[in-house]
């Protein structure tokens, strides 16, 4: 959603406009191939917010669960 506002000074009229932009895409794109990920050794992982590059969550994987 985009919103614009324009004011001309004290005591003057102000105009505001709001527009909603909807993008419709045809389903001509093929879904991406799945990526195989093997968790066969310890690793760290992070979930981060991409705009400000802030780490929201971090964790570590030590070993896979054993089958009973």
Per-domain boundaries in the chain: 38-68
Angle at 21 between CA 19 and CA 23, to 5 degrees: 175
pLDDT in tens, 7-28: 444 544 445 555 565 666 555 6
Q: What integer pLDDT is reported at residue 44 of this predicted model?
A: 92
On whether the CB atoms of residues 46 and 54 are closer than 8 A, the answer is no
Q: Band of the pLDDT at 3, cuts 50, 70, 90?
A: very low
pLDDT tens readout for residues 27-63: 567 778 888 888 888 899 999 998 999 999 999 988 8
Please say whether the beta carbons of 6 and 13 come within 8 A. Answer: no
């Amino acid at each position: 959603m985009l919103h614009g506002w324009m004011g001309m000074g004290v005591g003057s009229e102000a105009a505001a406009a709001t527009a909603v932009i909807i993008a419709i895409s045809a389903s001509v794109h093929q879904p991406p191939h799945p990526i195989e990920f093997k968790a066969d050794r310890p690793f760290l992982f992070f979930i981060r917010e991409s705009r400000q590059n802030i780490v929201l969550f971090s964790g570590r994987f030590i070993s896979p669960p054993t089958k009973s």
